[in-house]
Amino acid sequence: MIIVENLSKSFGGRILFENVRVQFNAGNRYGLTGPNGAGKSTFLKILQGDEEASGGTFNIPRRVGILRQDQFKYDENRIIDTVLMGNRFLWAALEERDKLYLEPDLTNEMGMRLAELEVTIGEENGYTAEYQAAKLLAGIGIPEHKHYELMKTLPTDLKFRVLLAQALFGDPDALLLDEPTNYLDLQSIGWLEENLHQYKGTLMVISHDRHFLNAVCTHIADIDYETIIIYPGNYDEMVSAKVQARQLVESENRDKEKKVNQLREFVNKFSAGTRSTQAQSKLKEIERLESTELKRSNIQRPYIRFEIKRPSGKEVLRVNNINKTYTQADGSPLEVIKDFSLEVRRGEKIGVIGNNGLGKTTLLKMLTGELPPDDGSIELGYEASIGYFPQDYKQNLQGEGLTAFDWLEQFGDSETTNEVLRNYLGRMLFSGDEALKNITSLSGGESARLLMAKLMLLGNNLLILDEPTNHLDLEAVSALSVALTDYPGTAIFVSHDRDLINKAATRIIAFKENKIEDYAGPYEEYLFSQQKKAAPEQAKSNTKQNKSKNKKKEASIYDNL
């Protein structure tokens, strides 16, 4: 259980939340929601002890699993040790024990201390700790042969997965997870959902993945109106309840205003006459009927609309038998794309899915010309022009001393006025002085929205987007989904956001081990086709298992004769 009493946090004159009193109960799974900048991560940092509150107190359990965002902090530690560090009491005991065992001469005091440490290690399930850590690593896709290597040998996305395993390790009493689905593929997200469903402690999670919140959460803790309101149910149920509550208060206020105006007319008419006593009574009633003060919501919805300056031909892109192989650290070849061909027609919205490390980003880089194929060719169709959103978006935000306005201005033409630039920036929530922020100080969400503003300004007829939702809040992800659905051009996008794929994609490219599938239909139809394929295979597997069981049964009968 986590108890928060009169907690407040403000930056300068801006209040994030004030005098918050909430209780998060064990067995419940809370989604912490609110737009970028509302204070979600700040609230978790306060509970973690990484940031000071402006006022108030809180009480959290002794053992808390925390998802850290610094992927490079543990570079010199072994991967499995990084997971074990998730239980700080166990890790401290293991470290101290190992140091004592290195002492050449053990004193009686050291021996007694070792005995105490062994008790602590036993209480913290230390004797099965490596086995449990290995299970977690396997679940998030880290192969067993890597477990005892250093963290620095892993790419960034796999480091993040190890930090997720660190948070989950040791059966903590509370879990605080900030964007746990970042860098996870669909298979790993499914594994995480299953594990969180089995978790018995208090879970608090921030995520921009609507499907994930709907699948996991039993409650939503929404940061808005300078407070935190807890709603029962998942994210969609919270949105519905929140809208209804707001509409109810607004309706009551309108009724009160109408009544107050009638009473004021009476007071103005009879305040000085024989009915002045009644007028005084009406004044008291006016005070009682004062409208409930409605604080302004901090929800901001970007307006994303991709238009095209010039349409492409009917055939937008042709990929002819391309291949791509990388050389691994040990010198061995890694073939990620083999003899892949693709024809893209105008107006198609292609969702690219699959586990991490299979070549999705490589394909997109080849389509944009950033990376050449080893063999084969890629041909753009008539008048096709590419707008690219890279996964590593920071590589596109270059320019020392540039503001958001300055950076966007580089991509305008002779007809792009300051008013036009301000309009695009305003749509992406860079209003007023926000447009003068230095690009080096932008948050992940702000950087992603600035790149969206660039794509809207350029008006390309072929959008290639690599994980565009990674740093967007739920409002922005929803806006992007609508924008891609309504886009008159052609789009190819990699995403692990199931809602975005489901709503926007009209065709699926699925990366699997040793093959790439091209399915001419939306995501739900693709999933159904996979289930139909899997059914006969499962039936065959069950038949084999039954035959094996029967043979064992027969052998057992003869053994007993």
Per-position DSSP letters for 513-550, written without gaps between them: TTEEEEESS-HHHHHHHHHHHHHHHHHHHHHHHHHHHH
User: Which of 93-97, 304-308, 529-533 comes out lowest in average pLDDT?
Assistant: 529-533
Residue pLDDT, tens place only, 364-392: 999 999 999 999 999 999 999 999 999 87
Strands (E), 144-214: 174-178, 202-206
User: Is the per-residue pLDDT at 286 higher than 90?
Assistant: no
- Amino acid symbol at 502: N
Between 328 and 456, residue with greater pLDDT: 456
Residue pLDDT, tens place only, 131-159: 999 999 988 888 899 999 999 988 877 88
Residue pLDDT, tens place only, 398-457: 777 899 999 999 999 888 999 999 999 999 989 888 899 888 888 788 888 999 999 999
User: Is the per-residue pLDDT at 338 higher than 60?
Assistant: yes
User: Is the per-residue pLDDT at 473 higher than 90?
Assistant: no
Between 311 and 554, residue with greater pLDDT: 311
CB atoms within 10 A of CB 521: 13
Please, which pLDDT band fits residue 220 given cuts at 50, 70 and 90?
very high
Please, which pLDDT band fits residue 515 given cuts at 50, 70 and 90?
confident
Q: By three-state DSSP, how is residue 43 classified? A: helix
CB atoms within 10 A of CB 488: 11
Domain boundaries, the chain: 1-62+173-233, 72-170, 239-288, 315-521, 525-561
DSSP for 420-479?
HHHHHHHHTT--GGGGGSBGGG--HHHHHHHHHHHHHHHT-SEEEEESTTTT--HHHHHH
Between 258 and 425, residue with greater pLDDT: 425
Span 1-62+173-233 CATH architecture: 3-Layer(aba) Sandwich (3.40)
- Amino acid symbol at 218: T
Cα–Cα distance for residue pair 36/192, rounded to 1 Å: 24
Please, which pLDDT band fits residue 553 given cuts at 50, 70 and 90?
very low
Smallest Cα–Cα separation from 65: which of 194, 181, 199, 155? 199
Please, which pLDDT band fits residue 253 given cuts at 50, 70 and 90?
low
User: Is the per-residue pLDDT at 254 higher than 60?
Assistant: yes
The encoded tokens of residue 142 equal 């880290």
**pLDDT score for 262:** 67
H-helix or E-strand spanning residue 339: strand 333-345
Please, which pLDDT band fits residue 556 given cuts at 50, 70 and 90?
very low
Cα–Cα distance for residue pair 145/150, rounded to 1 Å: 12
Residue pLDDT, tens place only, 180-190: 887 777 778 88
**pLDDT score for 555:** 44
Q: What residues form DSSP beta bridges with 517?
A: 510
**Strands 227-232 and 219-224, bridge-based pairing:** antiparallel
- Considering the chain, what is the average pLDDT of its residues? 85
Please, which pLDDT band fits residue 35 given cuts at 50, 70 and 90?
confident
**pLDDT score for 255:** 63
User: Is the per-residue pLDDT at 107 higher than 90?
Assistant: no
What own/partner pairs with CB < 8 Å and gap ≥ 24 does 354-357 have?
A: 354/185, 354/186, 354/510, 354/511, 354/512, 355/141, 355/185, 355/186, 355/187, 355/188, 355/511, 356/141, 356/157, 356/158, 356/183, 356/184, 356/185, 356/188
| Mean of pLDDT values over 447-476 | 91
Cα–Cα distance for residue pair 184/467, rounded to 1 Å: 11
Please, which pLDDT band fits residue 129 given cuts at 50, 70 and 90?
very high
8 A C-beta contact, residue 376 and residue 370: no
User: Is the per-residue pLDDT at 558 higher than 50?
Assistant: no
User: Is the per-residue pLDDT at 249 higher than 70?
Assistant: no
User: Which of 358-367, 403-412, 470-479, 487-496 comes out lowest in average pLDDT?
Assistant: 470-479
CB atoms within 10 A of CB 317: 23
Look at the domain 315-521 and name its fold: Rossmann fold (3.40.50)
H-helix or E-strand spanning residue 9: strand 2-11
H-helix or E-strand spanning residue 354: strand 349-354
Does 1-62+173-233 match 315-521 in CATH topology? yes
How much is the pTM? 0.69
Place of tokens 């590419």: 386
DSSP for 47-96?
HHTSS--SEEEEE--S-EEE----TTTTTTSBHHHHHHTTSHHHHHHHHH
CB atoms within 10 A of CB 437: 16
